């Protein structure tokens, strides 16, 4: 059954599967990092789910090298910090059969519902990674289009793609942090490609794009019960937000899924559809491309339809939602929760406490709160190593050039670097040309 036949999917949760809002707070090693879309009573499709992909699918047999976890002696004394965070784009996926996004879209609005109240267990089939599921050959394309469209709508200068060092999903950064932390780490893979002279595109890779929920979690249905869809986004299936910031000298573009936002009056866009070829061509033309944008081949790059709708969400209104069983509340591992808000600079952190779906209390914190800042101090060594690793990845990908197709594969706690067999690009040529700028 195609995703177009599903009922509307309200939201996702962006946490490891072992942290599905009320999963055990000391993460077992047998569960991966995933990013879910709330099922909203999706039909039971276990028998129709495809088998998992193999971790080394499409890779050369011989690895190129092993990427080590940096040791403390190799790190400088500068504390890691994120500066100059700016939202640069956003979109919502829809349930349409053909890939369709609402730009700028909007996150569900927090309804401030009075507690206590009951929530049913999560069940059904969830989408782990919407971008790869809906556009498997070009999962970063919606990111690029949404940012270009925002610049066009606002009459702003084109976004300087070629000056960026890394374009990535937050999910990949969190996986790297888990590997850096040591211990037993669930295997994962990140596919990389060089764009322009120095920009590294890090593509999320998952063994499966859908899986069945256990019926023992409540996070998705809590989100549904505690938020209201923004005008123009009622039929959407998750809000993706794109930010840029400086991470100790690395210019980053980071995409992530936003759980909710504070309700506030914002400029509303008239809802209007246009073909993806026209919209994307116009979007890319605003980047002053050296070549004329042309229609993409539907055989390897599916068309992406843009719907204008939703609201720009101010960074100060962003909310991360977490649900925790009351018995586990005293044992919360804040060193796992904190990177979720830090790497996306999400301002508000709401932790809902429940007893088998009966929600009784809500703990509200801000990213700047003393408690979360204490967690940040504890994690400074890990963030230093993350900065070092990202620089190592950038250097390796640049070394192998524009024809290189490197994959970083973590298995058994060891990070191996492989060359992919295919030289297929993760973005169409017209989109890749956005990264070709002079005097970077």
Average pLDDT of 93-103? 93
Q: Is the pLDDT of residue 235 over 90?
A: no
Three-state SS string across 308-320, please?
EEECCCCHHHEEE
- Does residue 186 surpass a pLDDT of 70? yes
Residue 268's pLDDT band (cuts 50, 70, 90)? low
How many domains does the chain divide into? 1
Lowest mean per-residue pLDDT among 2-11, 48-57, 103-112: 2-11
Residue 438 is predicted with a pLDDT of 54
Average pLDDT over residues 174-198: 95
pTM of this prediction? 0.83
Q: Is residue 365 part of a domain?
A: yes
The answer to whether residue 440 sits within a structural domain is no
| 266 phi and psi angles, rounded to 5 deg | -140, 165
Given a cut of 50, is residue 423 above it in pLDDT?
yes
Identify the pLDDT of residue 354.
97
* Percent of the chain whose predicted confidence (pLDDT) is above 90: 70
Q: Which of 46-60, 191-205, 267-281, 304-318 has the lowest mean pLDDT?
A: 267-281
Q: What was the pLDDT predicted at 40?
A: 42
Among 120-134, 189-203, 365-379, 391-405, the least confident range:
120-134
Give the Å distances, CA to CA, from 412 to 187, 204, 273, 323, 334. Answer: 7, 19, 47, 30, 25
Coil, helix or strand at residue 46: helix
How far from 130 is each of 91, 95, 245, 386, 425, CA to CA, in Å?
12, 11, 24, 25, 19
Residue 267 contacts by C-beta under 8 Å, 6 or more apart in sequence?
Answer: 311, 312
Mean of pLDDT values over 35-41: 41
Whether residue 425 is predicted with pLDDT greater than 70 in this model: the reply is: yes
270 has a pLDDT exceeding 80: no
Residue labelled with tokens 């066009």:
152
**Residue 41 pLDDT greater than 80, yes or no:** no
> What confidence score (pLDDT) does residue 278 get?
54
Confidence of residue 1 (pLDDT cuts 50, 70, 90): very low
In contact, 107 and 91? CB cutoff 8 Å: no
pLDDT of residue 265: 62
237: helix, coil or strand? strand
Question: What average pLDDT does the segment 261-289 reach?
Answer: 53
In this predicted structure, what is the pLDDT of residue 87?
Answer: 98
Range of the domain at 198: 3-435
Contact (CB, 8 A) for 134 and 93: yes
Q: What is the pLDDT of residues 123-170, one digit of tens each?
A: 998 898 999 999 999 999 999 999 999 999 999 999 999 999 999 999
Contact 424, 137 (CB under 8 A): yes
* 266-270, 301-305, 322-326: segment of lowest average pLDDT: 266-270
Q: Tell me the angle at which helices 170-181 and 334-342 cross, rounded to the nearest 10 degrees.
A: 150
Judging by beta carbons within 10 Å of its beta carbon (0-12, 13-18, 19+), is residue 316 exposed, middle or buried?
exposed
What mean pLDDT value characterizes the chain? 84
Q: Residue 302: is its pLDDT beyond 60?
A: yes
Long-range (24+ apart) CB contacts under 8 A made by 47-51 are: 48/1, 49/125, 49/208, 49/210, 49/211, 49/212, 50/208
Average pLDDT of the segment spanning 186-211: 96
């Amino acid at each position: 059954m195609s995703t177009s036949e599903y009922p509307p999917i309200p939201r996702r949760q962006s946490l490891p599967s072992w942290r599905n809002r009320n999963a055990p707070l000391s993460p077992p090693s047998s569960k991966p990092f995933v990013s879910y879309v709330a099922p909203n009573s999706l039909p039971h499709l276990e028998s129709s789910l495809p088998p998992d992909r193999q971790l080394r699918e499409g890779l050369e047999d011989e690895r190129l090298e092993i990427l080590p976890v940096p040791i403390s002696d190799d790190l400088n004394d500068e504390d890691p910090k994120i500066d100059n965070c700016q939202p640069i784009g956003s979109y919502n996926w829809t349930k349409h059969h053909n890939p369709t996004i609402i730009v700028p879209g909007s996150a569900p609005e927090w309804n401030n519902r009075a507690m206590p109240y009951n929530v049913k267990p999560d069940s059904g089939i969830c989408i782990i990674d919407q971008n790869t599921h809906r556009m498997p050959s070009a999962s970063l394309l919606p990111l690029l289009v949404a940012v270009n469209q925002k610049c066009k709508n606002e009459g702003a200068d084109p976004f300087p793609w070629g000056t960026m060092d890394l374009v990535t999903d937050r999910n990949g950064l969190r996986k790297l942090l888990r590997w850096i932390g040591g211990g037993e780490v669930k295997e994962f893979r990140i596919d990389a490609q060089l764009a322009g002279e120095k920009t590294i595109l890090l593509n999320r890779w998952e063994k499966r794009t859908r899986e069945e929920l256990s019926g023992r979690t409540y996070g998705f249905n809590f989100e549904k019960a505690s938020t209201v869809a923004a005008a123009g986004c009622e039929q959407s299936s998750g809000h993706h937000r794109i930010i840029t910031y400086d991470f100790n000298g690395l210019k980053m573009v980071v995409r992530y899924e936003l759980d909710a936002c504070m309700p506030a009056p914002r400029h509303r866009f008239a809802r209007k559809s246009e073909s993806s070829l026209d919209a994307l061509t116009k979007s890319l033309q605003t980047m002053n491309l050296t070549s004329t944008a042309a229609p993409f081949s539907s055989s390897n790059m599916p068309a992406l339809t843009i719907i204008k709708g939703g609201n720009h969400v101010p960074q100060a209104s962003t909310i991360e939602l977490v649900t925790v069983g009351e018995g586990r509340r005293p044992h919360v591992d804040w060193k796992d929760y904190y990177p979720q808000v830090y790497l996306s600079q999400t301002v508000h952190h709401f932790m809902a406490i429940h007893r088998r779906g009966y929600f009784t209390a809500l703990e509200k914190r801000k990213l700047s709160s003393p408690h979360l800042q204490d967690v940040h101090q504890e994690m400074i060594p890990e963030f230093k190593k993350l900065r070092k690793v990202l620089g190592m990845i950038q250097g390796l990908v640049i070394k192998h050039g524009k024809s290189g197709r490197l994959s970083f594969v973590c298995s058994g706690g060891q990070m191996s670097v492989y060359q992919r067999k295919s030289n297929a690009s993760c973005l169409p040529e017209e989109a890749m040309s956005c990264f070709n700028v002079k005097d970077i």
